[in-house]
Amino acid sequence: MTTAAIIVAAGRGSRAGGDMPKQWRLLAGRSVADRSIDAFRGRLDHIVLVVSAQDSDAWEQYRDAGLILAEGGFDRAASVRNGLAALEGLGVSRVLIHDVARPCVSERIIRDVLDALDNSRAAAPGLAVTDALWTGDGSIVTGTRDRTGLFAAQTPQGFHLDAILAAHRAHPGGAADDVEVARSAGIDVAIVPGDADNLKITTPGDFARAERIVGMDMDVRLGNGYDVHRFGTGDHVILCGVPVAHDRGLQGHSDADVGMHAITDAIYGALAQGDIGQHFPPSDPQWKGAASDIFLRHAAQLAQTMGYRISNVDCTLVCEYPKIGPHAVAMRETLAEILGLRPDQVSVKATTSERLGFTGRSEGIAALATACLVKS
């Protein structure tokens, strides 16, 4: 089942102040848009970013970032329709629609909405209203309202793609959000628990609150990995997922990708979940000759399951030959694809050991890796 996210980022956000739309402003050193995008990156099959035609710098920045770009419309509903249209023909069955101005959305909310779509055509997070409600003329209370059964709407709001696309195309316009569009088409919307931290940045003061949310209770994990494989017969080696021509191969129970093994162990280490040998015992014949991306994908999935996102990985290959430099870009791109990261979050570099030790004698290759994981 293929799932996508549409992140609506075409508004101007004038109430938030500042000299640029709020989605491009920095929040704890990164743009609001980047934080919202990263909440979904690696979890879904496609991400559509809906951007205003006025934001030429954003089009340039995100065009090569693995996102699908769609042009914003004259209002939010039109922008959503453009985003939905961009998914047609891609085999997408479910879609999450998210306001870019909610950069603090948690992995739990995203997971809950997706899980709810297994049994409903639509689902959205709602925060039960607990405060007393008044009406007023701006300076004087004129009445009260019963809060029973009231919820503050949040995003992402999830839908079966065919249902919400048809609902949007039939809607006359003016809806407050996509739940209203869905309900106008007779679609029942399941409520999942929202989160007070999933605020929508609307006013200047919301930036300060979002800064506190982003910075508090951060669980940052570091892990390191080390691996060695000796040379044997062969005409190439596989390093960080890339075949490299060489007059010898590397020996190992799997494909002996020493770089990928070190990165995998670094991720397991950050999670305190042992090493490759514990998850894929070399005594098990099914792993003989196995491609090492199997191990790396498992480690990345385990991190996601445990509620962590991989912030970056760094791998150093230690050898005299083959030369790594000509292949480093391809290695970074391959690792980034497997891990669901951008290439600029992956480092692959090499060094020699000045002809000292087993690597200096060209008896094998060693690799050291570090992985940084952040609690989602």
CA angle at residue 336 from 46 to 267, to 5 degrees? 110
Which token pair is 128?
């039960």
3-state helix/strand/coil string of 89-149: CCCCCEEEEEECCCCCCCHHHHHHHHHHCCCCCEEEEEEECCCCEEEECCCCEEEEECCCC
pLDDT, position 241: 95
SS3 316: strand
Structural domains of the chain in order of their starting residue, each with its CATH number: 3-215 (3.90.550.10), 220-375 (3.30.1330.50)
In this prediction, the residues of the chain whose per-residue pLDDT falls under 70 are 216-218, 376
